Amino acid sequence: MPSVFLKTYGCQMNERDSEAVAAQLVAKGYALAASEAVADVVLLNTCSVRDNAEQKALSKMENLAGQFRKQRPGVLLGFLGCMAQSRGRELIDQLPDVDLVVGTQKFHRVADYVDDLLAGRRDKIVDTEEERGSEATIKEHLLNGAAKAKAVTAFVSIMQGCNQYCTFCIVPYTRGLERSRMIEDIVAECRELVARGVKEITLLGQIVTSFGKRDIPEREGKSAFVQLLDAVHAIEGLERIRFTSPHPKGYGPDLVEAYARLPKLVESAHLPVQSGSDRVLKLMHRGYTRARFLEIIRQLRAVHPEMGLTTDIIVGFPGETDADFAETLSLAREVEFDNAFVFKYSPRRDTPAAAMPNQLPEELIEARHAQLLAVINEIAERKNKACEGRVLQILVEGPSRKNAARLEGRTRANKIVVFEGSERHIGQLMDVKITHAAPFTLYGDPAILNLN
């Protein structure tokens, strides 16, 4: 059977989509190639959120096409996902060696399309149509395939799309409007994963806190998303629940209370703030103020003082003044995030912000990026250092990505801990004493308790 190499750009949702596509290909008998050099089919699952993500995938494809044209002209090339959705056929006009372009609502058709192209039944395929019910098609997992020996953690897609229309963001155009899966289907998938040994599940969506908003009425003050958390929490054998990405506006009292009530819901939140300036937040159409955001952080820390908090921040939004940026710096200092992704504003097609006046010069954006990153990193390092000497619970995920001779796991607050252990620790919850903190990684020793 032919082999497929699938490379993923962008977020965890894209990783999850790729996993589902890979699982579907494997189910049809395709092999997964270890590299593009030996593959019969090369698929790039793309990201559009910033221009550099698109450029990376485009130049990768250009290189592949150039290389294969001379050496292996039969290799099939395809773009999947967000950039495929937003650019469609244009991608084939630009790169005529590309055979397949499949958008975000058609991942489940990829394996059939690859069959058709390889069999010569069709020449080029572009499918960026919308499809009712496509949100329920990302459900196959590759748990025990070659790529993932004994999976301890898994991602489960609960919804697709976003209706928030932040003015900088391309997602509503690439992922479509919000569509949620049924709670029973999600729970059935989670149950199956747990039966196969998974201990931690991360619920995924572009705006998970809007899950089921239009279809599932509030019950006893609980939003549909919290009802879903309750249902997943009830699965026996599941140890931990995470989710990403939420929107701050979804942090009502029911969700804050869920952190206190549901022990499997770990003390960790990735809460994208984007800016510390009310003026900019409004221009971004974020739907909250700085004060409201700080209030959510205060409430979460009141429930769990040790809550791991991370965020996304954009610098250089059109018209951002020195005073606006100073507000972002001061918010970062005030909250003391455990970590943050700092992004340089990138104008995206079809978005209102791209047409706003006062687009800022690249040098200014660069300077603000460096300045904010320095503040974020200094705080992150300090917070990591504060873990030295403490005993923290980790879920052991497998060999360390940096050094395969060691193991790694995550704390409930989502910090990575590397330690010396053995195969049999994989999948276990264990206490480790933190012996050393590097800027992005903690090093630990299993506490005496776990040594037997």
Minimum Å distance from CB 252 to ligand 5AD?
A: 20
Q: Which stretch binds ligand 5AD (CB under 6 A): 19-27, 148-156, 196-204, 340-348?
A: 340-348
Q: Which two tokens stand for residue 179?
A: 């569509």
Does 243 participate in binding ligand 5AD (rule CB under 6 A)?
no
String marking each residue 5-44 x if it binds ligand 5AD according to CB under 6 A: ----------------------------------------
Least distance from ligand 5AD to the Cβ atom of residue 358, Å: 15
Segment contacting ligand 5AD by CB under 6 A, of 278-286, 325-333, 345-353, 382-390: 345-353
Q: How far is the CB of 24 from ligand 5AD (least distance, A)?
A: 26
Of 25-33, 77-85, 281-289, 344-352, which part binds ligand 5AD (CB under 6 A)? Answer: 344-352
Q: Does 46 bind ligand 5AD (CB under 6 A)?
A: no
305: buried, middle or exposed (CB in 10 Å: 19+, 13-18, 0-12)? exposed
CA distance 409 to 399: 9
Closest distance to ligand 5AD from the beta carbon of 424 (Å): 37
Alpha carbon distance 189, 327 (integer Å): 43
Q: How far is it, in rounded angstroms, from Cα 310 to Cα 305?
A: 14
Nearer to ligand 5AD, 52 or 94 (CB): 52
Q: What are phi and psi of 250, to 5 degrees?
A: -85, -5
CA distance 174 to 234: 34
Q: Among residues 180 and 275, whose Cβ is nearest to ligand 5AD?
A: 275
Q: What are phi and psi of 326, to 5 degrees?
A: -60, -35
Given 105, 274, 310, 393, the residue binding ligand 5AD (CB under 6 A)? 274
Angstrom distance (rounded) from CA 184 to CA 11: 26
Q: Name the DSSP class of 288.
A: -
State the maximum Cα–Cα separation within the chain, in Å, rounded to a whole number: 65
The answer to whether residues 315 and 365 touch, using CB atoms and an 8 Å cutoff, is yes
In the stretch 135-174, what mask flags binding to ligand 5AD with x, by CB under 6 A? Answer: ---------------------------------xx-----
Nearer to ligand 5AD, 308 or 444 (CB): 308
How far is it, in rounded angstroms, from Cα 73 to Cα 76? Answer: 8
Side-chain half-sphere exposure of 448, counting CA atoms within 13 A: 0
**Residue found under tokens 């593009």:** 36
Question: Is residue 343 involved in binding ligand 5AD (CB under 6 A)?
Answer: yes
Interface with ligand 5AD by CB under 6 A: which residues? 49-50, 168-169, 272, 274, 312, 314, 343, 345-346, 348
